[in-house]
Amino acid sequence: MTDEPEYVEHRLIKAFAQDPDLGELEVEVTVEGLVIHLTGKVATESHRRRMRELTQEQFPGHEIVDDTEAVEMPPPPSDGENR
């Protein structure tokens, strides 16, 4: 298995998109040496944690810099609210 930056980036983006608990597509992954840098917006704080877990599982020898931002949105009002 190669740890070329392009390979690491592609593999993580694919893992984030395909993970049933994530489906995150708005995250950028950049790699410099053994440092993986995650940036962008994610749906929830739990998504941030899961992305870090996936990254660590896939590339345990790398340092992870997580600069993602959780942008949790309130649920839409139910049918009876604010009409």
Q: How many residues does the chain have?
A: 83
The answer to the question of residue 79 being in a domain is: no
- pLDDT, residue 81, reads 57
The answer to the question of residue 66 being in a domain is: yes
The answer to the question of residue 10 being in a domain is: yes
What whole-number distance in Å separates Cα of residue 82 and Cα of residue 51?
A: 35
Tokens of 44: 């929830």
For the cut 60, the answer to whether the pLDDT of residue 1 exceeds it is: no
Q: What is the DSSP letter of 72?
A: P
Give pLDDT tens digits for 26-82.
889 999 999 999 999 988 899 999 999 999 999 999 999 999 998 876 667 776 655
How many domains, the chain?
A: 1
The answer to the question of residue 54 being in a domain is: yes
| CATH number of 20's domain | 3.30.70.1350
Please report which residue ranges of the chain form alpha helices under DSSP H. 5-18, 45-58
Query: For residue 37, what are the contacts with CB-CB under 8 A and spacing of at least 6?
Result: 29, 30, 31, 65, 67
The answer to the question of residue 65 being in a domain is: yes
